[in-house]
Amino acid sequence: MPHARFTHLLNQQRSYLPPEHGKSSAWICGEEDYTAICRQALEDPQDFWNARASLLLHWFKRWDRVLEADEVNHKYRWFTGGKLNAAFNCIDRHLISGRRNKAALIWQGEDDMAKRCYTYQMLYTEVCRMAHALSSLHIRKGDQVALYMPMIPELVIAMLACARIGAVHTAIFSGYAEGGVRSRIQDARARVVITADGAIRAGKVKPLKANLDPILEKCPSVAHVVVVRHAGIENVNMKGRRDIWWHDLVDDFTLNADFPCEAMDANDPLFLLHTSGSTGKPTGIMHSTGGYLTYAAHSTQWCFDMRDDDVYWCTADMGWITGHTYGVYGPLALGATTIMFEGVPTYPKPDRYWRIVENFRVNILYTAPTVIRSLMREGEAWTERYEHNSLRILATVGEPINPEAWHWFHKHIGDSELPIVDTWWQTETGGAIISPMPYATRLKPGSACKPLPGIDAAVLPSPAQDGEDGDGAGHLVIRKPWPGMMLGVFNDEAKYQSYFSRFGCYESGDGARVDEDGYFWILGRIDDSINVSGHRLSTVEVEAVLTSCPDIAEAAVVPMPHLLKGEGIYAYVLTRDEVPWSDALRKSLRDAVRRDIGPLASPEYIQFVEAMPKTSSGKIIRRMLRKIAANALEELGDTTALANPQALPAIIRGHQNLLQGLPESAPAEEGGEVFAGGSE
């Protein structure tokens, strides 16, 4: 059940009223407004979503039914019979609405001098050319296209070109390494992969294309690889007929070559995005065109109070769901200006974010608590050098924001008055589910506040009371369908059904508590996922890499509290007979994880053990290992059920030695690395 470590958040006393200035012109202009809309939306959800979908999007053909629900199989199809195209909604319609020459996408490269700006017209031109190009590679409606790309405009262009054709894009975060990339391309059965020669990160170049080559040998579905020249890598190995440079490919298509938008069914998939599940295999979450886009536009408008002249910056990598919904689809559907930043918050200096805010006069800044913590550590002097009075709304996502970081952000960036919108949601939910409305909600630091209008979220006790819930904590579920809800899990119906098996409605996998004011406090994952810097990782996946090393017999991976990352990874490993414990082995294990999954999954600590604590049926009791890693020995609980209770004292001793850096116990050198902003 929910981890106890966030319970201190529940006792926060202070709350903050929404700003008065700007309230009257806000989309949701006060608490009464919010309450009235919520009541109305829950009384007649179909009427509510019907109105939102009509208002926010352009449909080639109106839907026959707002919702077709198959309650037995938990299939919810929104706006059935409706036809639309996401690229048309994000670009074409703005060309005739007075936004033709408005900045759609502003790109800031890692090099401060590297900036690019696309107006809606320019974006249209490039997206059409790329759509032609993909089409020339025989990509058709329904085909999968994998995007393994750095944070460059071509990534957005590729997404929208796929949407235009009706191809399903599947972004793979560029920080993933071999195993992570391979399993995603294979699961998606991608026909084309779009990548770049390299990604630039904190002054270093990571060779994406070269990393991809060996992976592709095991991905028979891939017919072509399109490569963007970006990082200046020389001698990129381009394989015969398979590999094509992006610039050569689009060169064949003239600038005025319109590519007509495919009229997509509301329930045709728009994209596929993998998330780490509770099993080792990544879960391919599928999102629809109509419902998803409605929800993206809807939640962007209300959570960020998005107005037409806003410059909006979502710092997440476009390779994650946050980048999809709030970096691309939501803001562009609303005709806003969205900023894309290639670099990291602290390179070359910890002033990058504030420079960008001042430079582009950012109005809305959406980032992650882990970024705030890492910048907080660098001190206020960096923030004080820059003007940030353009800012109107601050927002966070990915993990609970600890009150210390909240207050720092509020004081130093928000001048003690800007609202902080803490949005709780998941890859599966498509968009924000629980979040303040900036001009309506009284804020309690550390709480994501209340569900969005139309969302029926609740906290339910475990069906079989495990006696650990206590204090009103339970499972966070969503009882009614909403348009942003995933369409399904790609090629894994059983996995999709598992979200509904326990409660008969959508189960998030998070623990939460609702306080006396109806505010939700998220307590963290209940399943075997770890939230590192706001990124969901599967413990099973990390364990699989460790046990694939010939020296390792068993591995158990658990979360540990981490000052910057929120949670870090703690691995217990049992070596095979005769294999001596050594720092060299530790390093090689850590390298294996970095190589296979990516640096994000690198364990903070690797502890060698003589035996794992086990039940009589031989199952490792991870709950106890979790308590030890968290240094919460008093919460170890009943250890009598252990088949081998004698294993525990040695594990506890080993843990303490490791923390104190006693021989053979060097902590991770990578321990301080922050994967901020969703960028790695």
Q: Which residues bind ligand WT7 (CB under 6 A)?
A: 275, 321-322, 397-400, 422-427, 448, 508-510, 522, 525, 531, 534-536
Question: Closest distance between ligand WT7 and the C-beta of residue 367, in Å?
Answer: 12
Question: Closest distance between ligand WT7 and the C-beta of residue 426, in Å?
Answer: 4
Run of H or E including 165:
helix 153-165
Nearer to ligand WT7, 103 or 181 (CB): 181
CA–CA gap between residue 675 and residue 353 (Å, rounded): 15
Nearer to ligand WT7, 130 or 457 (CB): 457
Question: Closest distance between ligand WT7 and the C-beta of residue 394, in Å?
Answer: 13
Phi, psi of 440 (to 5 degrees): -125, -25
Nearer to ligand WT7, 539 or 665 (CB): 539
Please give the single-letter amino acid code of residue 228.
V
Nearer to ligand WT7, 125 or 322 (CB): 322
Phi, psi of 39 (to 5 degrees): -60, -50
CA–CA gap between residue 369 and residue 524 (Å, rounded): 14
Residues 6 or more apart whose Cβ sits within 8 Å of residue 13: none
CA–CA gap between residue 219 and residue 210 (Å, rounded): 15
Residues 6 or more apart whose Cβ sits within 8 Å of residue 458: 476, 477, 478, 479, 514
Nearer to ligand WT7, 26 or 448 (CB): 448
Nearer to ligand WT7, 424 or 608 (CB): 424
Nearer to ligand WT7, 534 or 559 (CB): 534
Question: Closest distance between ligand WT7 and the C-beta of residue 643, in Å?
Answer: 32
CA–CA gap between residue 605 and residue 570 (Å, rounded): 5
CA–CA gap between residue 569 and residue 602 (Å, rounded): 7
Question: Closest distance between ligand WT7 and the C-beta of residue 476, in Å?
Answer: 8
Question: Closest distance between ligand WT7 and the C-beta of residue 660, in Å?
Answer: 31
Question: Closest distance between ligand WT7 and the C-beta of residue 71, in Å?
Answer: 24
Question: Closest distance between ligand WT7 and the C-beta of residue 316, in Å?
Answer: 7
Q: Where are the alpha helices (DSSP H) in 198-325?
A: 208-216, 246-251, 290-303, 321-322
Q: Where are the alpha helices (DSSP H) in 273-386?
A: 290-303, 321-322, 330-333, 352-360, 369-376, 381-384
Phi, psi of 406 (to 5 degrees): -55, -50
Let me know: does 330 contact 296? Beta carbons within 8 Å: yes
Nearer to ligand WT7, 91 or 371 (CB): 371
Let me know: does 532 contact 175? Beta carbons within 8 Å: no
